[in-house]
Amino acid sequence: MIKNLVLTVLSGAFCAVAILLLFVGDPSDRGMLIGVLAFFGGCLIVGASLLAGDLVKKRAMKQGAETGDVRFRYASLFHLAFGAASLGMTFGAVIFALVSPWMWIVAAPALLLFGAGGLMFLYRALCDRRLVVAISADGIMDRRILARPVPWESIDAIGFPEIGPVQYLMLAVPDAHGFARPRGRFSSWMGRGQVTDGQILIAFQGLDGALTDALAAIGARKPDVVVLGDFTD
């Protein structure tokens, strides 16, 4: 929470100073100030979104969680906010480069990272309404990293680590790689999750439900499951 608060406050301060200087500063500096406003405006959206998630009050349990049949999709508002933020930071970096050509050293990677990420977030927010994570009688499925559901009898234990701002559901599965999609074997990227030897990490950041909904559904389907406990970075 502290990191998100610091990001929000500092980004807001940069934006406030940029807005002030747009009105009272030297007109020749307006290009750079617009870049600052766009870039740190994006940072402000990210920080405020994460901070709101930290401060939000407990909500009602997701439908189907108590019966062990729950579905998760991408959260539209989350991805819309991050999409707008990423494209804002991309625009800001390009403005910096247009004002000072040496800044293309920063702007070029930003076009690839923030630009592509922004388009991905917007696509998820506006177009992708498919199921992402499903917990049902068939087991647990995450289409981002798994090729097929992990059946209940294959799950030896569960855990719920929190790595940075991302909450994960950890499944202890002896033959974890047998369920993985090729990209699921790569290192976790942007909170997607990962399949390693004997473990499957399912990320819940950016989904329309909480990790607690998944834990309730697992408890309904496999009440005797071993819980390894919370472990954080």
> What tens digit of pLDDT does each residue of 19-44 get?
988 888 787 788 888 888 888 888 88
Phi, psi of 183 (to 5 degrees): -75, -20
pLDDT band at 232 (very low <50, low <70, confident <90, very high): very low
Mark whether 172 and 192 lie in a shared domain: yes
Mark whether 17 and 97 lie in a shared domain: yes
pLDDT (tens digit per residue) in 88-140: 989 888 888 888 888 888 788 888 888 998 999 999 999 999 999 999 999 99
Q: Is residue 211 part of a domain?
A: yes
Domain that holds residue 90: 2-57+74-126
Mark whether 106 and 201 lie in a shared domain: no
Residue that is last in its domain, among 126, 161, 187: 126
Q: Is residue 162 part of a domain?
A: yes
Q: Is residue 47 part of a domain?
A: yes
Mark whether 105 and 167 lie in a shared domain: no
Q: Which residues pair with 226 in a beta bridge?
A: 157
Q: Is residue 62 part of a domain?
A: no
Q: Measured in whole angstroms, how far is the alpha carbon of residue 8 from the centre of its chain?
A: 17
Inter-residue contact 169 to 191 (CB < 8 Å): no
pLDDT (tens digit per residue) in 58-97: 567 788 889 999 999 999 988 999 999 999 989 888 888 8
Mark whether 22 and 100 lie in a shared domain: yes
Of 110, 105, 78, nearest to 91 (Cα)?
Answer: 110
Looking at residue 5, its pLDDT comes to: 83
Percent of the residues in the chain that have a pLDDT greater than 90, as a whole number:
38
Helix (H/G/I), strand (E/B), else coil: 68 = coil
Residue type, 6: V
Mark whether 97 and 16 lie in a shared domain: yes
- Is the predicted pLDDT of residue 188 greater than 70, yes or no? no
Inter-residue contact 18 to 37 (CB < 8 Å): yes
Q: Read off the DSSP letter of residue 62.
A: P
Number of domains within the chain: 2
Rounded Cα gap, residues 40 and 7, in angstroms? 10
pLDDT band at 187 (very low <50, low <70, confident <90, very high): low
- What's the rounded mean pLDDT across residues 179-201? 74
Mark whether 185 and 94 lie in a shared domain: no
pLDDT (tens digit per residue) in 48-60: 877 776 666 556 7
Looking at residue 57, its pLDDT comes to: 53
Residue type, 53: G
Mark whether 182 and 97 lie in a shared domain: no
Residue that is last in its domain, among 65, 99, 126: 126
Q: Is residue 15 part of a domain?
A: yes
- What's the rounded mean pLDDT across residues 142-161? 93
Please spell the DSSP secondary structure of 145-177, one letter per residue: TBSS-B-GGG--EEE--EETTEEEEEEE-TTGG
Q: Is residue 42 part of a domain?
A: yes
Mark whether 176 and 204 lie in a shared domain: yes
Rounded Cα gap, residues 63 and 208, in angstroms? 11
Mark whether 18 and 115 lie in a shared domain: yes
Looking at residue 167, its pLDDT comes to: 85
- Is the predicted pLDDT of residue 143 greater than 90, yes or no? yes
Neighbours of 232 (CB within 10 A): 8
Residues 6 or more apart in contact with residue 169 via CB below 8 angstroms: 140, 158, 159, 160, 201, 202, 204, 211, 214, 215
Residues 6 or more apart in contact with residue 58 via CB below 8 angstroms: none
Q: What is Dmax (Cα atoms) for the chain? A: 68
Residue that is last in its domain, among 86, 109, 126: 126
Per DSSP, the chain holds a count of helices (H) and strands (E) of 6, 9
pLDDT band at 191 (very low <50, low <70, confident <90, very high): low
Mark whether 106 and 172 lie in a shared domain: no
Rounded Cα gap, residues 87 and 81, in angstroms? 10
Looking at residue 233, its pLDDT comes to: 42
Q: Is residue 231 part of a domain?
A: no
Mark whether 106 and 152 lie in a shared domain: no
- What's the rounded mean pLDDT across residues 198-207? 90
Q: Is residue 113 part of a domain?
A: yes
pLDDT band at 153 (very low <50, low <70, confident <90, very high): very high
pTM exceeds cut of 0.85: no
Rounded Cα gap, residues 206 and 43, in angstroms? 17
